[in-house]
Structure formats: structure tokens, C-alpha cells
Chain A
Amino acid sequence: MKILVTAKRTPDPYSKIKLKPDGSGIDTSNIKFVINSFDEIAIEEGLRKKEKFGGEVVVVSIGTQECVEQIRTALAMGADRGILVDTGGRYLDQLGVAKILARIVEDEKPDLVILGKQAIDDDANQVSQILAELLGWPQATFASKVDIDLNSKKAVVEREVDGGIEVDEVSLPAVISADLRLNQPRYASLPGIMKARQKPLKTVKIEDLKVDVSPSVEVLKFEAPPQRQGGKKVKDVDELIQALKESKVLPF
């Protein structure tokens, strides 16, 4: 079974994000970059399915040459080969990213694409859905459990929804997006890191894919969320209820 997974380069969720003074983006000077946490879960799921059914895990990253770091980490975790789509630093919106992935899928013809449900930088949560639509494939998003039956070529996917757990069945090939509780990603062991040296990593220039990625979304400005205002101390429960009513938290 051939599985395609993604590895977006995002700031470490534990790092402190500072904005550039002109609001044009975040200040990346003191920031560590890692694989998007949800993509890491997607990679882990791909590896587990490969370990169970055999086959290959191909990891794709779209961005600058620096994304090689994230691809190498995925290879050290156990993926078999990497593809870097070098954007030369140009801005892509979610449609552009999905179009590029669709193009790669056409070439690679995987049985399954697993992506993180969203990236922890822009939290857009759109690429997997758009990709499924572009490919005309079934999709199961926010997966918390994935079971595959190779004979019937089907995946049974559990999704955590507000009311409980929804179970979907999709035929393969399909697009699945990984939620937080799907698995606990492994770390790259030293033997894995050494093996990654030998694994193939192909770089594709974005121009060579002949895909129209001109963005339909324009980023105007980055703004920090407003500073939290200090709270108010109340004497007793009565005063608390009164205050909640005044601030319209309590409807009656």
C-alpha cells in the first residue's frame, strides 16, 4: 500500500511568537521550526499502516529549501522517500497548496493520502477537503481512528464530533485528515536518523508542475490578539450573579 503524507514546516508550538513591527508576518529570527503537529500524527499513521500492510510512505513538503529539515525528520521517523516542492518562498493559499498536492498525487498514484487536519500556524483546515474535491476522491476528516481493509479496499474512519463518535466508511483511494487523538507520534531514533541519510529526496520546482497557484486569498496584516483585560473581584455569590447578568453572560 502506498501512502502519501504531508510535512508542513511550522513554528514549534512551544515557541513564543512575536510579530514583525510592520505586521507583515511573524518574526522568525528566534524560532525553531518543526513538522506541523497534526502532520506528524498523519506521518505516524502512515508508518503504522505501512508496518501492517507493507508498501511505501512518501512524504511531501511544500515551501523553501529549509523544508528539507522537516522531510529528513519524517524520513528519520521511517518514511521511505521525500518530495520537496520548492516554492522559492512565494505565498500560496490553501487552494494553491491543494492543487500542488493533487498534481503530486496524479504522479505518485497513492492508495491513501493522510494530512494533518490543519496546520498549527494558520489553522486554516482546508487543504484536505479541497484536495479530495480536486481529486474527486472520498474524504474523512478529523480522524481519531483509521482501520483499513485491503480486500474490500475500504477504510473505516472514526471521527470525534460534538455528539460522540461518527463512523464513516470510505473507499480507497481516499483523503484522510488526522486529528489529535489518532495516535502518539514516535520520535526519530538514532538508527532512524542514520538511515535517513540514504533515503531519496527529490526536489521539484513549483514552476515545473505547471499548476496555476496564483492566490485568491491575500494576507493584509498580522495582528496579535488583544491583551486580556484584568478581571474584577466580587465579594460573594450574589454579587457574582449580578455581575454575570450585567455582562450578559447569564441570560436571565
Chain B
Amino acid sequence: MNFGDSQELQMVRETAEKIYKKLEGKRHEIFQKIKRNEFVQEIWDEIAEAGLLGAIIPPQYGGTGMGLLSTAIAVEELAKYGIGNALFVLTVVAESCIVRNGSEELKKKFLPDMASGKVKCALGVTEADAGTNTFRIKTHAIGKNGRYIINGEKTYITGADVADYILLIARTTPYSEVAKKGLPKMFGLSVFMVDLKSKGIKITKLGTRGIEGMNQCTVVFEDVEVPAENLIGQEDQGVWVMFNGLNPERILAGAGAVGLSEFCLRKAVEYAKERKVFGEKPIGAYQAIQHPLADVKIRQESTRLVVYKSAWAYDMELPPQEIMFLANCAKYLSAELLLYAVDRAIQTLGGAGFMEDNFLIILWDSARLLKTAPVSNEMILNLTAEHILGLPRSY
């Protein structure tokens, strides 16, 4: 067992740090864009140039095959400086689905452009009546003459307004038919890569908050044609394809949260060392201030370990159930960690914690979002109770 970084992972950390230093001069500009919910292309370009989008893609398709752990470390390091990009994570999710389930043709078609940063990908799962309960998805795809015709509506789709493609989950066999034939209810869903510029797609921005420089959107599909080759994995077996992608999403969300918690800690500690309220002692000398910060640090370290372990499990291709359990642990702990870290940092800074320029109050939205998405913490407890502890299903 080895808990240290390999020299290569150490280099990935340094690369992330250098990306920050390169962007440091544009800090104000980037901050303004994030405030306006504008996509920060500069961050995307650096992530692409560093090769971070190709880390889980094998070399023959334009990546490096370095693995999800190196991606997680980069996401964490960038987040320590308050740099993040949700489409980076979502594009990796789509890559994961294609790498582990896609046909040779599909891999050749998409992976090189995804590795180079040319193709940004959003994720289309949630519908008005189906989020956590994926089986109720109504968007459907009917196959005919070498293509699929897609109809339906997805909602809360992050970055659909800037992405090039959407990884879409849709019904290829109606739920009623699945029930009638006594097939498992996981059956009948399929996953597609759909060009967001296709005819029949309408994207409307929603007024949500919480994702840096990005909008969440409603995406309507009206007789959208998709070439049959864009189907990932087998028809009707899309749930298993999706599970392959949801794990990296949780793992990378966890990595980002660990990094952001460090961002909060740095701000808080720096302030607590300088700020004097009663006499000459800085407020950091008071246990009421320092104990919560020490507590954040301890929780952060334990969360980081499980984030790394889950990324490692993904790279090692451990059984899906094991990866999912670890990915859920990572996501659950990191969501709790980050919200607590932002809260304590704001409390340490007092009034200054609400200054937008200190970024903490802006981070509050994102931190809160992580308890709800990509999967709610309550749902993780449900899944853990049912599948890991073997308790009766509660819902």
C-alpha cells in the first residue's frame, strides 16, 4: 500500500499550480465572467492544453491513459485556487461512457476531439418527472433507417448552452412494454451522443445558481435525428453505460470539493492570523475560531483519502458495485465537508465573508448545490443502506 504521490502525479499537481499562475493576471476578468454566468473559455483552454481532458482516454484515441486519479488530482489542485469548470467534469463523464462501452467506430469518432478540448459535452439525464428515478424517463428514441429519432424534454442540464454534444439517456423500449414482458426495470434505456446543433433542439436557460460561470438549461428534442452509430453500448442496455459515467462524476465532484475546502481554509486561516478584535491577539488564537478550522482540516484529509481511493478503484476497474460505493462515499463526505468549510470560513471572516470579492459567499451556492447534485446525499444513504448493508429498500 502506498499513499504518496508518484512523481508523475506530483508533476500533475505542479502543472495545475502553473495553470493558476498563468491565469492569475486575468483573475478579475474571470471573476466578472463567473458573476455574469458566462462560460470561462480561458480556463477550458488551459485544461485542454495541459492534456487534462485526455487523461482517461487511451493513447490510441489521442489521450494519455494516465487515469482518473490524475484527473481528480488536477481538479483538486485547480479548485484550491478557486478554479473549476463543470463541463470539464461532464466531458470526462461522457468520455468514460465511450471508453468503457463505446464501439471502436464511436471511439475513433469522438475521443480524439474530446481529448483535445474541441468537443465539450453536457449530460442529459434529468427530466421534469425523472431525476433520481431514472427509470421514469420519458424522452424516447425510435430507431429506423440507420438513425434514431428523438423526442422529449430534459431539464437542469448544466452547460447545454455552451456544450457541443449532449450525452443523452432516452427510452428505446417503453416502460409499459418492459413491465408487460416482465423484463428488469433497468431495461429499455439507451445512451446517445447527440449534436446540440442538430435540427429540432431548443435550449432555454433556467435561472439557477451554483455552477461557476455556467447556466442550467431546459433542452427540448423535437424529431431530432441521430445517426445510429452514436448509440453508446447496446440498445436498451444504457443504464449500465450510464453507471460507468456517474461514478467519475461523483469522484471528480468530490475532488473539486476537497480542493475548494482548502481554498476556504486558506482564506479563513490567513484572516484569522491577522484580524485583531480584542487587544493584540489575533482572532485565530481563540478556540471558537481555530477548532472549527482544525475540524475542517481533519475532515478534509479523510475525504481526500476516499476521493483518491475511489479514483484508484475506477482506474483499476474494480467491480462496479465497489467503485460505486467508494464514489458515493467520496461524493457524500465531500458535500458535507465543503458546505461546512464555506460556513466556517464565512464565520471567521465575519462581515468580510459576505464581500463578493472574497468569493466565499459566491461559493456558498456551489457548496450547497453539491448536497443536491449530481445525486442527493439522502439518495446515497438509501443506496448504501440497500445495496451495501442489505437492508430493505425504503422508497
Contacts and interface: CB of A to CB of B under 8 A. Distances in A.
A190 B12 contact: yes
In this complex, the interface size class of chain B, counting residues with CB under 8 Å from chain A, is 20 to 34
B92 interface: no
Contact of A191 (B7, B19, B51): B51
Interface in B3-42: 7-8, 10-12, 14-15, 18-19, 22
Central interface residue in A34, A69, A190, A193, by most chain B CB within 10 Å: A190
Most B CB atoms within 10 A — which of A69, A76, A184, A197?
A76
B273 to A, nearest CB: 13
A114 B358 CA distance: 42
Contacts of B19: 187
B11 A188 contact: yes
Given A34-B14, A73-B14, A190 B50 contact: yes
A189 interface: yes
A190 B55 contact: yes
Given A34-B14, A193-B12, A187 B50 contact: yes
Interface residues of A toward B: which range?
10 to 19
B11 A76 contact: yes
Given A187-B18, A187-B19, A193 B11 contact: yes
B8, B11, B49, B52 pick with most chain A CB within 10 angstroms: B11
Nearest to A190: B51
A194 interface: yes
A189 B74 CA distance: 11
- Find the residue from A69, A72, A189, A193 having the highest chain B CB count within 10 A: A193
Contacts of A184: 22
A34 to B, nearest CB: 7
A72 B10 CA distance: 11
A187 B51 contact: no
10 contacts: A69-B7, A72-B7, A72-B11, A187-B22, A187-B50, A189-B15, A189-B50, A190-B12, A190-B15, A190-B66
Given A187-B15, A191-B54, A193-B12, 16 more contacts: A184-B22, A187-B14, A187-B22, A188-B14, A189-B50, A190-B12, A190-B51, A190-B55, A190-B64, A190-B66, A190-B70, A191-B64, A193-B66, A194-B8, A194-B64, A194-B65
